[in-house]
Structure 1
Amino acid sequence: MLLLTKKAAAQMYMYDENATDYLDEFTNEYSLLKFDIPRDEDVSITDVVDKQIIDKSSYFVNKDNKEYLLFRGYDLRDYKNTPIGYFAFMDRMDYYMDTIVFVRWVSIITTILLMIVVIVLMYKLIRDYADEITEQKNILDYQTHYDSLTGLPNRVLFNDRLQHLIEVAKRKNATFALLFVDLDRFKQINDSLGHVIGDKVLQIISKRLQRIIRKEDTISRLGGDEFTILAQSLKKGEDASVLAQKIILSLSNAIYIDRHTLYVTSSIGISIFPDDGIESDNLLKNADAAMFKAKEEGRNNFQFYSSDMTELAFKRVMMETSLRKALANDEFSVYFQPQVNGKTDKMIGMEALVRWQHPDVGMIFPDKFIPLAQETGLILAIDSWVMKSAMTQVAKWYEMGLDPGILALNLSMKQLDQKGFADKLNLILIESGCKPQWIELEVTEGEIMKNPQSAIEVLGKISQMGIELAVDDFGTGYSSLSYLKHLPIDKLKIDKSFIDGLPNNEEDVSIAIAIIALAKSLKLSVIAEGVETLEQKEFLVENGCDYIQGYYYSKAISVEEMEEMLKNRTKK
């Protein structure tokens, strides 16, 4: 095969009668022509065709000078090895071949780019479709588990969380409460003002409920005007009454919608896990039954499924109400219990203790109302009152020439957490006329360990005022010695629970001796409270605890009795 110009082919076949047939094969200026020679002859094309016939710009080579084509940059691997030699494109064809190669590469690149574009578009379409599916799934999931009107969990999600809470409570042996809240006479609002107003009321109610509950609690809307609350981590079942009372008070406040002023009350039923059931259906059913009982009792109240629990809860509510009245009516009084040097039997000071003289019940001791006062926050007002009264009385005794010694006052962590407490304390000292060196503040070990870093900071400020500090109920609060050594304290007070078994109980003996040794090693004084017998007193003194407080010397006595005791001591 030869690649020739049409002109060169015409000259080549000018004497061939079949030239017309060959020349007809030319469709363009260049073409391949068939050239036959015997296979057994190794003949160069120049031996067959006159070199002048071939266009000067054409190149046709035999086996001997193929290196020439390699030198020109042609790749002969794809060219056929014919009997007469290799053939190659001529120079005049180079332009066209470059164009062909260029077009070919352009087409390849274009194809690749188109494929990339198609892949990107397909990816985007698939991604958008997946995002849309995910969004639709999220919307469907939200609609399945949340109430569209209030945004609260609905019955489906409530049941799921209730079942989960039951499983956790079983593992941890914990208690929780299920509160079933139903709005009283809500149907009248819908019937008289329409569902639009009724829906707005439900939205306002749901927001109020959300503000009341803790983060760990769950509030749900079961439907209509029914709500449920899962109150976790309760120490006692009756603690749920605190939350119920808050709900009743909050929902009873007026609701203002457009030009309407509405009042909505609620009836609440409470069931307790595990006392009122260990299955979700039973707990919900019993809370619902308690709610209907609350409606039968006149609405706008709460009832426990257990009648005994309801009675306890109402006593608690009445106690809280009475506590608030006691502060306003000045029903509290300060009693003083002597603190004595066990070696010399001389009084070194006294602890101020609060008593509640209830107008109907009579004398109520602190263990009956202090825990409730701490939970409701009333402890701040009570402690403040006791502090002012006791300081004023001690200052008065010193002014009379008596020697009451050091006044020990109980201090709660809630007081320490108050902003500017040290300044408030200093103001009380000034107003009462009491000197800092006459005062000792006692903070329980458990209170300190709730926030040890904050306690170190605040107690440091108090210590700088010249007031002594003591750790009360030591040994019961699991304190860290690393914190203890940083506390600016002066005294450890051994809790009564470790004194009761002395001197016969080996564990109490070991603990008491260990606390005394710890106090000595930290250069702190130590006092034991709750000492009731001579044997207890003698054991403590013999083992290095010189200061004693308890019934062995005296119970807590009134201001008048303590004043008489101080006067008698002065005479001696």
Structure 2
Amino acid sequence: MGEIIGQPCYKVSHHLDLPCYLDGEDCPVKHVFDTGEPRTTIHTHYDVTGQRIYVKNKAFALQKNDLGEVQTVIEIVVDITAKNHREAEIHHLAFYDPLTSLPNRRLLLDRLEQAFITGARTGYYGAVLFLDLDHFKTLNDTRGHDVGDLLLVEMAGRLQAAVREGDTVSRQGGDEFVVLLKNLSKAERVAITQAGHVAEKIRTDLGQPFRLAGHEQQITASIGICLFCGHDTTVEELFKRADTAMYQAKNTGRNAVRFFDPAMQAALEASSALETDLRQAISKRQLQLHYQPQADSTGKIIGAEALLRWTHPERGPMSPAAFIPLAEESGLILPISHWVLEEACAQLKAWADLPAASAIRLAVNVSARQFRQADFVKEVQQIIAASGADPTRLKLELTESLVLADIADSIAKMQELGAMGIGFSMDDFGTGYSSLSQFQHLPLEQLKIDLSFVHDLGIGPQDAEIIETIIAMGRILGFHVIAEGVETRAQMDFLLHSGCEAYQGYLFSQPVTAPDFELLLAAGVMERKG
């Protein structure tokens, strides 16, 4: 006791060098001195061994002077560590499975209700996956329940590793598990693909051998999926559908994934087949770049945008809208984006010897996933060096949302590439939520007015004002402004009158092959078609 007499409480019990209220804690003694009112708080203290303990502190005035000012305060401290532990145990038993420590049905239902609310507000799809092990009873009967329990624990770990941090893996009992996926895409077709990819990853991961009690054990799982968006169905109906889909998976031979909705199952199978074809398209050189001219007000070509095209061997030309989202979801966007940049730089090098093309700038779209790679700058530098292209003729198009997701990282990469002479254009400008102050620091050279605003000129009441504002903003910040999706003379006339400096769209030309683009260059000036 002699060691602590005369020592301040914050040193003895809090292990702090300053009073606890200066460290953000609610000090009940200070509260009583300041207000005269009693105060009860919960604090974390430390015992003489440094072990953390939880205490309830109650302070009240013991003595006041004639003016009512507190002179003496008494504080009663009660150790509630054991009580807290008991409450934590009760909470764990109420909401978590005792074997696997996964959320149980009660906690899953609570999180599912929150997912319903969030989905109704945001429009994002979610999914419920019902999962049941194949022939688990046989394992229990032949190797014993202890080994069966070991498998369930190991399985819980693999399931959690297969999903995102915000998703939920729940054990319902026995060998039945439910996975709740939140915040999938707003587009149903993409959400189907996303849920299907997770289910297939789970199925594949569970198919790897388990090492149980010194022996290797193989197991498979059948998985049923049902999508939801907001409160479009009840919990009971959602579970019923996912359970039905799971039994459909079992009936097809087990070790399978099935959607409840046959149309969704067909969409998943079509998506999987298309993904396989897309992987082959890269190696079989079925991809190609087309080039859409960018012109000034006279129709003179000043640049072009490289646009990806895929000619499927059976389906023919594929719309980018049909395969780009799939490429992004599957991760194929990285090798595809690398190929696009290589092809574009090779074309720039080839055009360097063509007098009519030697001064044009070629714009290449950069995917978010590609730009966020740690070695993106190095990747671009290596492609430029290998191709021999002039970096000052290359312009990278970045979307507003991509740049603002991590503005510091974006600026650092843009500055490093900009030092080589590479330019940057803000694609789809006006569709995000950026501010003027943010753009003042971005090393951009161009803003591209999104085609949705151009398309709605004369239709949407505010589109004309938005376009005029973007052009004025570009002028203030010293950015070159280009409009995409220009299809009519009326659109062109409005943009020209508003001060827009460059144009891209079907009014001048659709995207064309490299040889056809060279013919347009040779013609000098493009005729407007509208």
Decide: shared fold, TM above 0.5: yes
Counterpart in the other structure of 1:475 = 430
Equivalent pair of 1:166/1:278 in contact (CA under 8 Å) = no
Equivalent pair of 1:532/1:550 in contact (CA under 8 Å) = yes
Letter in 1 for 2:325: P
Distance between the aligned counterparts of 2:151 and 2:130, measured in 1?
A: 18
Residue correspondences, number: 443
1:245 equivalent to 2:195? Answer no
1:150 equivalent to 2:115? Answer no
Within a 5 Å distance, the mapping from 1:212-227 to structure 2 comes to 212-227=162-177
Q: Deviations over 1:498-547 (max 9, x none)?
A: 11133565422212111111111111111111111122222222221131
Which has the larger displacement, 161-170 or 519-528? 161-170
Distance between the aligned counterparts of 2:467 and 2:116, measured in 1?
A: 42
Q: Deviations over 1:478-512 (max 9, x none)?
A: 21211111100001101110111335654222121
Within a 5 Å distance, the mapping from 1:179-328 to structure 2 comes to 179-235=129-185, 236=188, 237-238=191-192, 239-257=194-212, 260-274=215-229, 278-328=233-283
Letter in 2 for 1:204: E
Equivalent pair of 2:120/2:230 in contact (CA under 8 Å) = no
Distance between the aligned counterparts of 1:531 and 1:274, measured in 2?
A: 36
Give the direction of change, closer, same or farther, for the CA distance of 1:134–1:468 in structure 2 (3 Å limit).
Answer: closer
Equivalent pair of 1:166/1:279 in contact (CA under 8 Å) = no
1:417 equivalent to 2:372? Answer yes
Letter in 2 for 1:482: S
Q: Deviations over 1:14-58 (max 9, x none)?
A: xxxxxxxxxxxxxxxxxxxxxxxxxxxxxxxxxxxxxxxxxxxxx
Equivalent pair of 2:171/2:178 in contact (CA under 8 Å) = yes
1:461 equivalent to 2:416? Answer yes
Counterpart in the other structure of 2:73 = none
Letter in 2 for 1:337: Q
Distance between the aligned counterparts of 2:149 and 2:471, measured in 1?
A: 66
Deviation of 1:173 (Å): 6.0
Counterpart in the other structure of 1:35 = none
Distance between the aligned counterparts of 1:373 and 1:187, measured in 2?
A: 40
Letter in 2 for 1:185: H
Letter in 1 for 2:301: M
Counterpart in the other structure of 1:490 = 445
Counterpart in the other structure of 1:73 = none
Give the direction of change, closer, same or farther, for the CA distance of 1:166–1:334 in structure 2 (3 Å limit).
Answer: closer
Distance between the aligned counterparts of 2:459 and 2:112, measured in 1?
A: 50
Counterpart in the other structure of 1:395 = 349
Equivalent pair of 1:286/1:305 in contact (CA under 8 Å) = yes
Distance between the aligned counterparts of 1:398 and 1:454, measured in 2?
A: 32
Which has the larger displacement, 185-194 or 264-273? 185-194
Counterpart in the other structure of 1:365 = 319
Counterpart in the other structure of 1:27 = none
Distance between the aligned counterparts of 2:471 and 2:117, measured in 1?
A: 45
Equivalent pair of 2:116/2:231 in contact (CA under 8 Å) = no
Letter in 1 for 2:161: R
Counterpart in the other structure of 1:348 = 302
Letter in 2 for 1:387: L
Q: Report SS of the residue matched to 2:290.
A: strand
Counterpart in the other structure of 2:479 = 524
Q: Deviations over 1:199-255 (max 9, x none)?
A: 222222211111111121111111221110111122345232232222122222233
Structure of larger gyration radius: 1
Give the direction of change, closer, same or farther, for the CA distance of 1:192–1:362 in structure 2 (3 Å limit).
Answer: farther
Letter in 1 for 2:326: L
Give the direction of change, closer, same or farther, for the CA distance of 1:156–1:541 in structure 2 (3 Å limit).
Answer: closer
Q: Deviations over 1:56-76 (max 9, x none)?
A: xxxxxxxxxxxxxxxxxxxxx
Equivalent pair of 2:121/2:230 in contact (CA under 8 Å) = no
Q: Report SS of the residue matched to 1:471.
A: strand
Name the structure with the higher strand share. Answer: 2
Q: Report SS of the residue matched to 1:499.
A: helix
Counterpart in the other structure of 1:34 = none
Letter in 2 for 1:349: G
Distance between the aligned counterparts of 1:559 and 1:168, measured in 2?
A: 47
Distance between the aligned counterparts of 1:466 and 1:225, measured in 2?
A: 59
Q: Deviations over 1:449-497 (max 9, x none)?
A: 2222221221121211111111011111121211111100001101110
Equivalent pair of 2:308/2:340 in contact (CA under 8 Å) = yes
Distance between the aligned counterparts of 2:117 and 2:455, measured in 1?
A: 40
Distance between the aligned counterparts of 1:148 and 1:415, measured in 2?
A: 42
Deviation of 1:127 (Å): 7.0
The two structures have a TM-score, normalised by structure 2, of 0.77
Distance between the aligned counterparts of 2:81 and 2:296, measured in 1?
A: 79
Q: Report SS of the residue matched to 2:226.
A: strand
Give the direction of change, closer, same or farther, for the CA distance of 1:434–1:170 in structure 2 (3 Å limit).
Answer: closer
Q: Which runs of 5+ in 1 are unaligned?
A: 1-125
Q: Deviations over 1:236-287 (max 9, x none)?
A: 4523223222212222223334554433222111223358963322222221
Letter in 1 for 2:246: M
Within a 5 Å distance, the mapping from 1:432-471 to structure 2 comes to 432-471=387-426
Equivalent pair of 2:357/2:518 in contact (CA under 8 Å) = no
Equivalent pair of 1:276/1:283 in contact (CA under 8 Å) = no
Deviation of 1:176 (Å): 2.3
Task: Give aligned-pair identity as a percent.
Answer: 39
Q: Report SS of the residue matched to 1:425.
A: helix
Deviation of 1:311 (Å): 2.1
Distance between the aligned counterparts of 2:521 and 2:228, measured in 1?
A: 54
Which residue, out of 503, 510, 513, partners 1:548? 503
The two structures have a TM-score, normalised by structure 1, of 0.72
Q: Deviations over 1:278-306 (max 9, x none)?
A: 33222222211111112222322222222
Give the direction of change, closer, same or farther, for the CA distance of 1:157–1:499 in structure 2 (3 Å limit).
Answer: closer
Give the direction of change, closer, same or farther, for the CA distance of 1:539–1:277 in structure 2 (3 Å limit).
Answer: closer
Distance between the aligned counterparts of 2:176 and 2:220, measured in 1?
A: 12
**RCO higher in structure (CA 8 A, sep ≥6):** 2
Equivalent pair of 1:276/1:286 in contact (CA under 8 Å) = no
Equivalent pair of 2:123/2:229 in contact (CA under 8 Å) = no
Distance between the aligned counterparts of 2:447 and 2:85, measured in 1?
A: 62
Give the direction of change, closer, same or farther, for the CA distance of 1:277–1:185 in structure 2 (3 Å limit).
Answer: farther
Letter in 1 for 2:304: M
Give the direction of change, closer, same or farther, for the CA distance of 1:143–1:382 in structure 2 (3 Å limit).
Answer: same
Which has the larger displacement, 536-545 or 501-510? 501-510
Counterpart in the other structure of 1:515 = 470
Equivalent pair of 1:269/1:303 in contact (CA under 8 Å) = yes
Distance between the aligned counterparts of 1:329 and 1:409, measured in 2?
A: 22
Distance between the aligned counterparts of 1:488 and 1:423, measured in 2?
A: 19
Q: Deviations over 1:167-203 (max 9, x none)?
A: 5555666542211111222233333333333322222
Distance between the aligned counterparts of 1:167 and 1:544, measured in 2?
A: 45
Q: Deviations over 1:325-383 (max 9, x none)?
A: 222322211111111112x2111111111111212211112222212222332222111
Give the direction of change, closer, same or farther, for the CA distance of 1:174–1:360 in structure 2 (3 Å limit).
Answer: closer
1:338 equivalent to 2:293? Answer yes
Which has the larger displacement, 528-537 or 411-420? 411-420
Distance between the aligned counterparts of 2:355 and 2:419, measured in 1?
A: 27
